[in-house]
Amino acid sequence: MQWILIFIFSVLFLFILSTLWFKKSRKYESDNSVASSYDSWTNDRLLENLWGEHIHLGFYEKPRLKKDFRQAKIDFVHELVHWSGLNKLPKGSRVLDVGCGIGGSSRILSKEYGFDVVGISISKEQIKRANELTSNEDFCRFDVMNALDLKFPEGSFDGVWSVEAGPHISDKQKFADEMLRVLRPGGVLAIADWNQRDKNKDRLNFF
Ligand SMILES: C[S@@+](CC[C@H](N)C(=O)[O-])C[C@H]1O[C@@H](n2cnc3c(N)ncnc32)[C@H](O)[C@@H]1O
């Protein structure tokens, strides 16, 4: 009897595992569905309680250090600032944070680098929360806006920053064009995104 139960549970376990493994990623529906998903994750505080103010992956040095995962997200912002050269811009430079979430990066860019930051997101609840989390001393403000239709004139920013917003955006060319349009000539573009490997070209090798 005991062996039959072990057998049934093992089969069930393998079935669940293989279903999860072969499950396709959620398909993009529309800007509205992206906005309403982030609205509801913001209102139920799910992401904020788990991840804090940053909705992105962290920076882990090599060799891997055991590190608090919220600290890794903050470290990631500083790494990208230095890697992109944004730190070379003078204080008071205007920086646009495209897909700003609840403003985690924007606040660091304004508080610690002295930039004048505008954060935009397609989620109105994120913008509301970003404003709640931002004090009057911070030089950043937030607006609901679609990255594919930026309401700023050409060349109005010294720096454009975007972290992990691109995968949600259907038209990558327009996304890039809009960011470059509002960036002044010679300005700094800092983008970090995750990408999916082409499984046909580069198979996963466990060993
Ligand atoms: C993974 S979160 C990253 C948030 C933030 N950059 C951070 O690092 O904490 C993705 C962000 O992109 C925003 N986003 C997705 N599509 C957008 C669009 N078309 N226009 C503006 N923001 C968009 C989402 O609302 C969300 O704020």
159-177 pLDDT, tens digit per residue, is 999 999 999 999 999 999 9
pLDDT at 44 exceeding the cut of 90: yes
Is residue 100 in contact with ligand 1, taking CB distance under 6 Å?
yes
Amino acid at 158: D
The answer to whether residue 22 sits within a structural domain is no
- Total number of domains in the chain: 1
CATH code of the domain covering residue 112: 3.40.50.150
Quick one: which of 83, 128, 133, 129 has its CA closest to 110? 133
199 pLDDT band (50/70/90 cuts)? confident
Is residue 56 in contact with ligand 1, taking CB distance under 6 Å?
yes
Single pTM value for the model: 0.88
Are the beta carbons of 144 and 123 closer than 8 angstroms? yes
Domain hosting 163: range is 31-192
The answer to whether residue 83 sits within a structural domain is yes
The answer to whether residue 178 sits within a structural domain is yes
**How high is the mean pLDDT of the chain?**
91
pLDDT at 22 exceeding the cut of 70: no
User: What share of the chain in percent tops pLDDT 70?
Assistant: 95
pLDDT at 20 exceeding the cut of 80: no
The answer to whether residue 167 sits within a structural domain is yes
Rounded to the nearest angstrom, the distance between the alpha carbon of 73 and the centre of ligand 1 is 15
The answer to whether residue 207 sits within a structural domain is no
Alpha-carbon gap, residue 146 to 21, rounded angstroms? 33
Provide the pLDDT for residue 163.
98
Is residue 51 in contact with ligand 1, taking CB distance under 6 Å?
no
The answer to whether residue 60 sits within a structural domain is yes
Is residue 58 in contact with ligand 1, taking CB distance under 6 Å?
no
The answer to whether residue 143 sits within a structural domain is yes
The answer to whether residue 10 sits within a structural domain is no
Quick one: which of 125, 145, 131 has its CA closest to 47? 125
90-112 pLDDT, tens digit per residue, is 999 999 999 999 999 999 999 99
Provide the pLDDT for residue 207.
60
Are the beta carbons of 161 and 95 closer than 8 angstroms? yes
